[in-house]
Structure 1
Amino acid sequence: MDQPLLRIQNLSVSFGDTPAVQNASLKLARGTTLGLVGESGSGKSVTALAVVRLLAPGAKIVGGSIRFDGQELTTAPESTLRDLRGVRIGMVFQEPMTSLNPLHVIEKQIGEILEIHGMASAQARRARTLELLKEVGLQNAEARMGAYPHELSGGQRQRVMIAMALANNPDLLIADEPTTALDVTIQAQILDLLRDLQKRHGMAILFITHDLGLVKRMADEVAVMRGGSVVETGPTAEIFANPQHEYTKMLLAAEPQGDPPPADTSAPEVLSADNLRVWFPIKSGLFRRVTSYVKAVDGVSISLRKGQTLAVVGESGSGKTTLGLALLRLIRSEGPILYLGQNIDTLGANKMRPLRKKLQIVFQDPYGSLSPRLSVAEIVEEGLIVQDRGLSADERRKLVARALADTGLDPATMDRYPHEFSGGQRQRIAIARALALDPDVIVLDEPTSALDRSVQAQIVDLLRALQDRRSLSYLFISHDLKVVKALASEIIVLRDGKAVEQGTAAEIFANPRAKYTQDLFAAAFDL
């Protein structure tokens, strides 16, 4: 038999004295896909980073072997690794905002990879960049080539990362949660794209994910990791039909359960907007005159009631996040916004400040929203320092500990820094920061997208319990319709800044009227 393209044997990686991967063994044949599955902190990403020797400072390989196409990588010189990275081995990282350079446009970043590895012609680089962006389904690809990362949505940024990884047609693609930030229809497109590229180029894929639905659809073989060790491997069909390890059985059973509270139209209105608009001007010409507008939110009306969850659903770029930011007065908008009957869209910064304690947000990208220079305790207590000046340091620390415990984190870890936590743990820190201020309304912008399924279920249960206990109101922005179904009482479906359908969750899930909503549901529940 031909040797595997990638063979990992008894790999061990440590962060100082703390083991992160212990005696892990994997193999990946040419032209096949290996799904590497496990919860946050299981060692999946560390194993992948070890392959290309891009481990974080302080981490080191302490044992085992990594062979790529017969060549040992654990002892290979840096020059050999540079020749492999981005050419024979491509990688899609989990958090695109931290991987893309905020100072350069998309065209330059993709073109740089092509230039480093031999494409000298600027015209050829531009053509290849445009081809890649179209392949990964980026809308208005030619216009987007001149965009900076902050001008793209989370899903759009992830698609750019995938384009960069595929730029030089690698033999091995390491995809670390490549569809985490993407809505369900684009998830399906990306999976189809990866499979098509795999067939055409014979590319092997190491597909790292917490979503077992994607693994079932994508992978030929599955390896399950827990606590840094591989606990079960085998063909995908066998693992799903007859899992042997208890941990694998738990992962397969993990889905958000239960039903949300029914929509209560008699509950008092907490936050509302009427015909809300957020238009971004497009300027051109020598004098930079406004020639058109990007209508990110175009005439949307919403009503969020006390103790209820309103889910905002739609594809990347549909205006979901922009709507949430506008409602909290974090970006400019037109149209009345009412909080507890008070018109807040005309309030200045000073008058809005006292209200911000009660209007909180959890951002989509926790790594980008958590300061790397502050400890977890300092991050969570930041709002308390601003809003509750009378609290002592000990009182703030107790509130921080309570918020962390509420989100399933050990309060004893509060003096650690964000980089010491997994992606899922960082998202829980972001949720704890919002909860610490005891708000009335929380805008949750994809709060479970970075979490594995078992933790998603825990967070859904937590959010429901907190809502019941504190009568919280959630504006829940998500592309994960399984989570929406478990949490939302009402739904509004956005497309290109407009509401195409809205109503109670029970009605919309039972009988979606708009073709766009039907397509979203079909993609979500067929995956």
Structure 2
Amino acid sequence: MSVVLEVENLSIRFRQDGRVLEAVKSVSFTVGKGETVALVGESGSGKSVTALSTVSLLPDSAGVDGSIRYLGREMVGASEADLRRVRGNDISFIFQEPMTSLNPLHTIERQLGESLSLHQGLSGDAARGRIVDLLQKVGIADAESRLGAYPHQLSGGQRQRVMIAMALANGPELLIADEPTTALDVTIQAQILDLLAELKAREGLSLLFITHDLGIVRRIADRVCVMQGGEIVEQGPSKDIFANPQHPYTQKLLAAEPKGVPEPIAADAPEVARTENLRVWFPIQRGLLRRTVGHVKAVNDATLSVRAGETLGIVGESGSGKTTLALAVLRLTPSEGRVVFLGRELKGVQGAALRALRRDMQVVFQDPFGSLSPRMTAEQIIAEGLGVHGVEPGRDRREMVAEIMTEVGLDPAWMGRYPHEFSGGQRQRIAIARAMILRPKLVVLDEPTSALDMTVQVQIVDLLRSLQRKWGLAYIFISHDLRVVKALSHRVMVMKSGDVVEAGDCAAVFDAPKSDYTRSLMAAAFGEAAV
């Protein structure tokens, strides 16, 4: 097998505030012709920095030693003109979040055309024909009609397909995919992985795949390089790494999957929340007089209940209505139908009366960085709810913050730090502490683990279990990660296009799904053998 990319003794350091930070230390690996090599590790392990260094996409503050050879040509120290010829032409990238990688102000045709014009000199009808061909190749239905679409008019899966089309535009030899499926639903994730495998076989591509998800690695990689702290601690054929991992860190990663089942609910556990025939329809208004011409049916006739100490998992793809349903339960979006909380009908409850109930219903969001104010310290963020609802009589606010920080596994000495000074897992613990300090009865958890590494996911699941056990909390847990749902939920509700297509005991739904849609979710998450 001929070698496409050869990395030898690569070291990368950054100068920051007078200090030198070593991001990558003496890394060596190769990618052969037609081969898929996976760089695996947690956030901060050096995976993405290593990939970006292949075509010198690092900031000026980076110092690079070692050798990176593409088809025998040295890339370290290469001229800008040589690098420009390789970037996007011979080596192409697919990044994690297509919405931030695509220009929101330009149409899909213009963005794909820009690359074709720059590298191949194509324009007009020739470029248009090539763009349609690329979009069809990556599975965009009715490609010609999509040329004038902007990124926000496409689904997450479609945006990622457009990113793949851009990467393929100039016939690259090597495709570098940096967490390309992390932000996608399980079914879309499966489609993208199948597409990459098909394109690799058809186009004869080599693939360097960066991920923290070992399930994906097992599915697509020929060889695996495991990174920790900027070093490759183990590498070898995928089947050997999974069958007999040698390094303790590799063993830890392979064991990092949420396991077990939640504790049984007490037979006399009281009902915390209930909905009956809940409906959320958003009007579609057109014309000068904004007449309603139809509705977006976000949630249709959803009936659910959750008791103290119980977790109700709500699963489904993006746009299925999961989050909208939860927001309606919290009275954060208008709805029709009954919502009963702690035995009280919420219809008509407004103002101070509703605000008093809010202390008992809290929410933890998906992105711990986006949901925390960068201008507030950890102490201010966690204590924010106490300012709204009042501190318990006789309790000191700072004392309460210290207590809840300890409970969620944070050092109270970090109270004065800001969000950017914490890791992703620590930020999510702050978000959980902010919700839990009010001792709520119901907590909505909206994808609280999807942005986290596998080992951190396990820690957060264990934390949520212990808090539920200690305080008898009711959880509504929203996720597209069925492994986490299975480990945390007592009952499961499956949603599609606003409809509840299946609901029941967690074990029953996972072991014997009744609807075709649920079976497709299970197949995408666990493989055909699990269905």
Q: TM-score, normalised by structure 2?
A: 0.85
Aligned partner of 1:174 in structure 2 is 176
Given candidates 365, 371, 386, the residue that maps to 1:369 is 371
Whether 1:92 aligns to 2:94 is: yes
Task: Tell me how far apart the structure 1 counterparts of residues 143 and 81 of structure 2 sit (CA, whole Å).
Answer: 38
Shift of 1:373: 4.6
Q: CA RMSD in A?
A: 3.6
Per-residue Cα deviation, 1:243-281 (whole angstroms, up to 9, x for no partner)? 111211222222212211235674222222222222233
Per-residue Cα deviation, 1:297-318 (whole angstroms, up to 9, x for no partner)? 1221111211110000112222
Whether 1:51 aligns to 2:84 is: no
- In structure 2, the gaps of 5 or more residues are none
Task: Tell me how far apart the structure 2 counterparts of residues 153 and 409 of structure 1 sit (CA, whole Å).
Answer: 37
Task: Tell me how far apart the structure 1 counterparts of residues 111 and 259 of structure 2 sit (CA, whole Å).
Answer: 42
Per-residue Cα deviation, 1:198-225 (whole angstroms, up to 9, x for no partner)? 1122222221222212101110110011
- Does 280-289 or 328-337 show the bigger shift? 280-289
Letter matched to residue 38 of structure 2? G
**1:214 match: secondary structure:** helix
Aligned partner of 1:35 in structure 2 is 38
Shift of 1:105: 6.4
Shift of 1:196: 0.7
Task: Tell me how far apart the structure 2 counterparts of residues 103 and 374 of structure 1 sit (CA, whole Å).
Answer: 32
**1:4 match: secondary structure:** strand
Alignment check: 8 A CA contact 2:280 2:298 kept: yes
**2:362 match: secondary structure:** strand
Letter matched to residue 94 of structure 1? Q
Shift of 1:465: 0.4
Per-residue Cα deviation, 1:83-125 (whole angstroms, up to 9, x for no partner)? 5444433333334555455566666655655565555338955
Aligned partner of 1:2 in structure 2 is 2
> 1:359-508 maps to which residues of 2 (within 5 A)?
359-388=361-390, 396=397, 399-409=400-410, 415-419=416-420, 422-508=423-509
Letter matched to residue 43 of structure 1? G
Shift of 1:495: 1.0
Task: Tell me how far apart the structure 1 counterparts of residues 456 and 418 of structure 2 sit (CA, whole Å).
Answer: 21
Whether 1:306 aligns to 2:290 is: no
Letter matched to residue 310 of structure 1? L
Task: Tell me how far apart the structure 1 counterparts of residues 112 and 327 of structure 2 sit (CA, whole Å).
Answer: 30
Task: Tell me how far apart the structure 2 counterparts of residues 284 and 187 of structure 1 sit (CA, whole Å).
Answer: 35
Task: Tell me how far apart the structure 1 counterparts of residues 156 and 274 of structure 2 sit (CA, whole Å).
Answer: 26
**2:277 match: secondary structure:** strand
> 1:234-273 maps to which residues of 2 (within 5 A)?
234-262=236-264, 266-273=268-275
- Structure 1 residues 401, 246: closer, same or farther in 2, change over 3 A? same
Letter matched to residue 301 of structure 1? T
Whether 1:12 aligns to 2:15 is: no
Task: Tell me how far apart the structure 2 counterparts of residues 376 and 170 of structure 1 sit (CA, whole Å).
Answer: 46
Letter matched to residue 345 of structure 2? N
Task: Tell me how far apart the structure 2 counterparts of residues 520 and 191 of structure 1 sit (CA, whole Å).
Answer: 15
Given candidates 315, 338, 341, the residue that maps to 2:343 is 341
Whether 1:209 aligns to 2:211 is: yes
Task: Tell me how far apart the structure 2 counterparts of residues 195 and 311 of structure 1 sit (CA, whole Å).
Answer: 32
Aligned partner of 1:514 in structure 2 is 515
- Structure 1 residues 96, 291: closer, same or farther in 2, change over 3 A? same
- Structure 1 residues 23, 108: closer, same or farther in 2, change over 3 A? same
> 1:347-362 maps to which residues of 2 (within 5 A)?
347-348=349-350, 351-362=353-364
Q: Looking at CA atoms only, which structure, 1 or 2, has the larger radius of gyration?
A: 2
Alignment check: 8 A CA contact 2:391 2:397 kept: no
- Does 438-447 or 190-199 show the bigger shift? 438-447
Shift of 1:514: 1.4
**1:34 match: secondary structure:** strand
Shift of 1:512: 1.6
Aligned partner of 2:228 in structure 1 is 226
Aligned partner of 1:23 in structure 2 is 26
Letter matched to residue 269 of structure 2? A
Shift of 1:30: 2.8
Shift of 1:489: 0.4
- Does 29-38 or 272-281 show the bigger shift? 272-281
Task: Tell me how far apart the structure 2 counterparts of residues 370 and 192 of structure 1 sit (CA, whole Å).
Answer: 36
Task: Tell me how far apart the structure 1 counterparts of residues 43 and 267 of structure 2 sit (CA, whole Å).
Answer: 38
- In structure 1, the gaps of 5 or more residues are none
Alignment check: 8 A CA contact 1:31 1:204 kept: yes
Q: TM-score, normalised by structure 1?
A: 0.86
Shift of 1:236: 0.6
- Structure 1 residues 171, 410: closer, same or farther in 2, change over 3 A? farther
- Does 319-328 or 294-303 show the bigger shift? 319-328
Alignment check: 8 A CA contact 1:427 1:450 kept: no
Letter matched to residue 7 of structure 2? R
Alignment check: 8 A CA contact 1:162 1:178 kept: no
- Does 233-242 or 179-188 show the bigger shift? 179-188
Letter matched to residue 192 of structure 1? D
Per-residue Cα deviation, 1:163-185 (whole angstroms, up to 9, x for no partner)? 55445443333222222222222
Percent of counterpart pairs with the same letter?
A: 56
Shift of 1:232: 0.4
**2:177 match: secondary structure:** strand
Given candidates 127, 130, 135, the residue that maps to 1:132 is 135
Alignment check: 8 A CA contact 1:427 1:447 kept: yes
Aligned partner of 1:197 in structure 2 is 199
How many residue pairs align between the two structures? Answer: 524
Letter matched to residue 9 of structure 1? N
